[in-house]
Amino acid sequence: MDANILIEKILNKKAIIGILGLGYVGLPLVLRYAEIGYKVLGIDIDADKVAKLNQGKSYIAHIPSAKIEMSLKQGFEATTDFARVSEADALILCVPTPLNKYREPDLTFVTDTTDMIVPYLRNGQVLSLESTTYPGTTEEELLPRAESTGLKVGEDIFLVYSPEREDPGNPNYETRTIPKVVGGHTEACLEVGKALYESAIDHVIVVSSTKAAEMTKLLENIHRAVNIGLVNEMKIVADRMGIDIHEVIRAASTKPFGFTPYYPGPGLGGHCIPIDPFYLTWKAREYDLNTRFIELAGEVNTNMPRWVISKTMDALNERGKSLKGAKILVLGIAYKKNIDDMRESPAVALMELLVEKGAIVHYTDPYVPVFPKMRKHHFDLSSVDPTSKNISSYDVLLLATDHAKFDYDMLQKHAKLIVDTRGVYLDACDNVVKA
């Protein structure tokens, strides 16, 4: 099919948008395309998620169910039936890209999804990969699979890569207002991809290839991982010198040019920053290159939970207590403030280290009422109510995630000891230790 026919169909909103993977990335896209008048088909292998969404129920805290209900009225439908891929004109892949146990890219979600849609691909579709990955994935994995159907990419079917940018819980940006980068396999692919995203996103930035688009996303996330590693290392140095790193960051941030603040914490969390950089590390080896900044930042960031635990031990020691047998309440276990996402949360690493050392560990998190089932971790716990009575019964409150919903004054008033990994408590007080 001529690219212009598909572009026309997209611009006229006659195109059906298929989103594969209805997670943190896929679901907001569903809502956006439905909101502007497209029929949207959401496809996921998770039957529970699909059933919930079809009942108008959200399963992500920052996406209200009312928005799902509205999108169903506007023409959204979720399904587990991959045969329906043939109905869609655009197929946008938003599936996970984790690391395997050797910390190497695990592309199986991307390749499995592609294998599952291949039997239903047809002339006149655009296939867009949004999952974060190493440069070359679209050409090496998606292109041959798409062409195994006999369809020619750039002529019958169009292939693009467009990385997702999301900052869950940030009220200043929404899908429409976050600029989006797109690269196409051919010029025609790019034109179709541009039309697909310009219909939904205010600002679309075109790059010369799918590889450049893949690398763009990695640069963004590596930039964060490396700078967070740097500031975490600075925190350890400052602490040893008796300097409060948060005071220093606040002061440095007054420089009107050439400085961007990054904030230290108990480690790195989330689906992206601790994982994505290693996609490049792995691919760079194929070119006989080492990504030393990435490895170094990874090393510093991975060691942060251990450093926090040693600070906690020291603080207890000074009070004549040992970590073994101490009652510890972890404040906030989501990977960052004001959200419910637990993926790669450093709080979980802290909890595991504490248990390993014989502490009695509980947690409180307004966003995580029950400790969820996680692939690698399990705690049979539910969130403790942070009442003054409960708070005062713990030897340590370990502040891992600084949710705005916590009453920090009340906590400080009733806690025996707070270990603050986020710089919440600005002024020195007897029962607060910064870590």
Contacts to ligand NAD by CB under 6 A: 20-26, 43-46, 49, 94-97, 109, 112-113, 116, 130-132, 164-166, 168, 271-272
Least spacing, CB of residue 326 vs ligand NAD, in Å: 34
| C-beta of 164 vs 395, nearer to ligand NAD | 164
| C-beta of 163 vs 386, nearer to ligand NAD | 163
Residue 121: CB atoms within 10 A of its CB come to: 21
**Residues 6+ positions from 397 with CB-CB distance below 8 Å:** 328, 329, 331, 391, 411, 415, 417, 418, 419
| C-beta of 26 vs 332, nearer to ligand NAD | 26
| C-beta of 304 vs 342, nearer to ligand NAD | 342
| C-beta of 43 vs 226, nearer to ligand NAD | 43
Least spacing, CB of residue 156 vs ligand NAD, in Å: 23
Query: Does 272 qualify as catalytic in the annotation?
Result: yes
Q: What CA–CA distance (Å, rounded) separates 144 from 157?
A: 12
Least spacing, CB of residue 303 vs ligand NAD, in Å: 23
Phi, psi of 19 (to 5 degrees): -115, 120
Q: Which residue is nearest to ligand NAD (CB)?
A: 23
Least spacing, CB of residue 26 vs ligand NAD, in Å: 6
Is residue 106 within 8 A of residue 34, CB to CB? The reply is: no
Q: What CA–CA distance (Å, rounded) separates 99 from 275?
A: 7
Which one from 94, 189, 272, 429 is the annotated catalytic residue?
Answer: 272
Residue 372: CB atoms within 10 A of its CB come to: 13
CA angle, 383 then 335 then 411, to 5°: 50
Q: What CA–CA distance (Å, rounded) separates 192 from 201?
A: 14
Least spacing, CB of residue 122 vs ligand NAD, in Å: 18
**Which one, of 97, 83, 175, lies nearest residue 130 by Cα?**
97
Contacts 24+ apart (CB under 8 A), 280-286: 280/134, 280/135, 280/215, 280/218, 280/222, 282/104, 282/105, 282/134, 283/105, 283/134, 283/135, 283/136
Tell me the catalytic residues. 272
